[in-house]
Structure 1
Amino acid sequence: MERQKEKPDEAVKEVKEVKEKPERELDGLRKELARLKELKRYRELKEIETKSEELVPETSTEGLPSEEIEARLNKIEDFLTSKMGEIDHKAYEQNAAQIEKELRELELEIVKERGAVTKEVSTYEMILNDYPWLEEKRYIFMYSLPNKKTDLKDYESWKQEWSKVLFDYARYAILHILYLRKTESEKPFSNFEDRKKALEEIAEELVNKEQAEWLSKSKEKLRVYWKSLDNWAEEIYEWAMEISPLEPILVFEIRESNKEFSKLPSEDIVKIFKMLEKEKRGKIIELDDGQISFKIKIE
């Protein structure tokens, strides 16, 4: 009886997730696009300040202009939006495959253009662009850890703000695992009065928000999920379809792909293979040396 009661709840949860998916993905891409625009503006200002005469790297022409990306996003959103101003889930369900493909393509275009824009901008400069208060004198108090017992409200607010900074730091630096001892020496975290304690508190906040997890009991290694395994699975699948749809994909090929997912922890790659296999998009093949590969299912 217990199990029978659980099933309807799981079904309701699954339906809710399906309904929220298009809104969540569109919102996520719009945020990424907004960041990209800000970053481009910041780089332009930086070039003016330094009077640099260097040309923009050729790779910047590979991505679509941010205005065209935004226009395509608007087109998808207009198609999905009902007269009531809400997402039309019926329209989404009927055209889910095509919409998902378009969203994935737009995400890749944003990544390409961001890669071109950030080529000569450091991780700290990108963080500073998002959080200008990091270098404002009036916010110097943010580098001191508030007293949890006497200033609980300030402590919670401090954790919230710094957890965003640490999350974006990992994302911009394309780091899946943060080694806190090394991170302590990186700006802006090197400015903390008590670097070790402050970073542990911030990292713990990410863990509590399920955006990260500790990989060691000593709390020195932190796995940060700045992109979900679902999204990584989609990217690896699309990449594998492009380079070798007929041959099994080996882990070392993922490592040598020079993509954002090339440095994913081995455990995560195994999880992704299992996810794709469960979705019947291919199968895991065990090799003689104990390693595994993934063979895409061709329809």
Structure 2
Amino acid sequence: MGEIEWPWQYSFPPFFTLQPHAETKEKQLNAWKSLILEYYRTTKQAVVDIREIDSSPLFNNTSINRKLPSEVVLIILEELYKSGNAIPLDKSKQRWLVYWHTLEEWGEIIYNWAQENGFAGSVCTLFELTQGENTTDQEFYGLDSDVLIRSLRTLEASKKAELIIFDDNQGVKFF
């Protein structure tokens, strides 16, 4: 897990208050989207729980005593949903899955790795993909299992792979 480099806005108190001016608000939301994706990439996390954001250093800058309100976090997550970088995990939209690559991009990254490393026509366990010795230098190493499965489903849809999930066995066959 890496160390996050906070952008200058993170120490700027108005960054934690939704701006009323349309152009400023758009820039602010874009900066928050970038920060959230970078934070989740660096920390290898994937789930945002709106009910727990007060304890997250991402949404709570204690050095300037500022917190991003949950309503604003929800607006940003909705924007990430539109760009294919987040999806709600429940109907009340309290828990979200966030991914710094879209699911299709993740699928292609994993598929390209499988092709380049001779795994076409063979089966890999999901554990091997995210925790195996062959993937320690890959961006998908340590990837959240929900994000992994969802990205592999995009490969299934394009007939590049088949998920194999039964009992406690989870794997993928690459074509």
Which TM-score band (shorter chain)?
A: 0.5 to 0.7
Q: Could you tell me which amino acid in structure 2 is paired with residue 264 of structure 1? A: D
The whole-number CA distance in structure 1 between the counterparts of 2:161 and 2:74 is: 40
The whole-number CA distance in structure 2 between the counterparts of 1:204 and 1:275 is: 21
Aligned partner of 1:177 in structure 2 is 47
**For the structure 1 residues 141 and 285, does the alpha-carbon distance in structure 2 shift closer, same or farther, using more than 3 Å as the test?**
closer
Superposition pairs for residues 41-56 of structure 1, below 5 Å?
none
The whole-number CA distance in structure 1 between the counterparts of 2:151 and 2:27 is: 35
Superposition pairs for residues 161-176 of structure 1, below 5 Å?
161-176=31-46
Higher relative contact order, structure no. (Cα contacts within 8 Å, ≥ 6 residues apart) = 2
Partner SS, residue 60 of structure 2: helix
Aligned partner of 2:74 in structure 1 is 200
Q: CA deviation at 1:212?
A: 1.8
Aligned partner of 1:229 in structure 2 is 103
Q: CA deviation at 1:190?
A: 0.6
Aligned partner of 2:16 in structure 1 is 143
Q: Could you tell me which amino acid in structure 2 is paired with residue 132 of structure 1? A: W
Aligned partner of 2:172 in structure 1 is 294
The whole-number CA distance in structure 1 between the counterparts of 2:40 and 2:85 is: 11
* 8 Å contact from structure 2 (residues 85, 101) kept in 1: no
**For the structure 1 residues 160 and 217, does the alpha-carbon distance in structure 2 shift closer, same or farther, using more than 3 Å as the test?**
same
Q: Could you tell me which amino acid in structure 1 is paired with residue 127 of structure 2? A: F
**For the structure 1 residues 169 and 247, does the alpha-carbon distance in structure 2 shift closer, same or farther, using more than 3 Å as the test?**
same
Deviation digits for residues 36-70 of structure 1 (CA, Å, limit 9, x no counterpart): xxxxxxxxxxxxxxxxxxxxxxxxxxxxxxxxxxx
Aligned partner of 2:9 in structure 1 is 133
* 8 Å contact from structure 2 (residues 37, 100) kept in 1: yes
Structure 2: segments with no counterpart, 5+ residues: none
The whole-number CA distance in structure 2 between the counterparts of 1:208 and 1:278 is: 21
* 8 Å contact from structure 2 (residues 49, 95) kept in 1: yes
Structure 1: segments with no counterpart, 5+ residues: 1-118
Aligned partner of 1:252 in structure 2 is 127
Aligned partner of 1:47 in structure 2 is none
Number of aligned residues = 164
* 8 Å contact from structure 1 (residues 250, 294) kept in 2: yes
TM-score by length of 1: 0.44
Equivalent residue in structure 1 for 2:3, among 116, 122, 127: 122
Aligned-residue CA RMSD in angstroms? 3.3
Which moved further from structure 2: 193-202 or 164-173?
193-202
TM-score by length of 2: 0.68
The whole-number CA distance in structure 1 between the counterparts of 2:82 and 2:42 is: 21
Aligned-pair identity in percent equals: 23
The whole-number CA distance in structure 1 between the counterparts of 2:41 and 2:143 is: 13
* 8 Å contact from structure 1 (residues 176, 265) kept in 2: no
* 8 Å contact from structure 1 (residues 184, 190) kept in 2: yes
The whole-number CA distance in structure 1 between the counterparts of 2:79 and 2:168 is: 37
